[in-house]
Amino acid sequence: MKSGKNQAGSSGRQDRLGARDRRIIDDIVRYRLTTNEFIQRRYLPHANINAAVKISGRLVRQGWLNAYPLYDKRQYFSVGLRLSKHFGTSVYRTRPLGPQALATHVSIARYVFCSARQNMRVALPDELGEALPWLGNLKLSATSILEKGEGVPIWRLVRVDLGGRPDHIVRKCSAEIDRFKDCPEFVTMLSAGQFVNVVLTASHPKQQLIERALADHRWPSGIRFQIGIVPELFQLLSQP
């Protein structure tokens, strides 16, 4: 009986989450996924990929994460059943992402995780409401990223190119901005350089086409654009 009790206690200790584990889980909740490459880059910069593989494998075995195929024998990790119960999220979150959702979330995670800017992160609804209360209950189709700085944070509105024509992408950006372009608070952000419209695409040629389409469109004064390249997008969008 004593031996059994010790074994149970040992198992409980092994199941405890360390500080790094909790940060990885926070990434899953905020970005919907992570990969071994992202874990290594964010939390194990001086270790090889095997260290990340061991951590993700343990979290999968413990039920915190689920593992699904990404491409080329790579995996991505999303909400596991244990994590879903812990945070009270829908069990639907434990299922694999659809092709477009997967491409979108990988692209946004890469944009944040691989950026030289350390103060960016995807804004959860309550965080966005606190930072930009003038948006009210407006539902945005693009993803909001807040970059902390002095005073008001920089707001990056991020859209992922899932293979559409450049003019179609520009129209979607324009339609989104048109919904709040006349708000005094937004005009103030533009004049202060605190808003950036970001488009993530798969290749340099597509980046150039989008830039040309943006240049042909009329935009509010002071608006800034960033067109980023996500190499994984080509792989994800070309999968059957």
Per residue, the 3-state secondary structure of 122-151, as one string, reads ECCHHHHHHHCHHHCCCCCCCEEEEECCCC
Contact 169, 159 (CB under 8 A): yes
Q: What integer pLDDT is reported at residue 8 of this predicted model?
A: 39
pTM summary value:
0.90
Cα–Cα distances (Å) from 240 to 71, 75, 100, 236, in that order, read: 11, 17, 12, 9
User: Which residues are CB-contacts of 212 (< 8 A; sequence separation ≥ 6)?
Assistant: 166
pLDDT at 213 over 70: yes
Predicted local confidence at residue 1, as pLDDT: 41
Query: From residue 120, how far is each of 25, 85, 93, 101, 163 by CA, in Å?
Result: 17, 28, 24, 21, 26
Instruction: Kindly tell me if the per-residue pLDDT of 89 is higher than 90.
Output: no
Q: Sign of dihedral through CA atoms 26, 28, 30, 31? A: positive
Alpha carbons 209 and 211: distance in angstroms, whole number: 5
Q: Average pLDDT, stretch 138-148?
A: 94
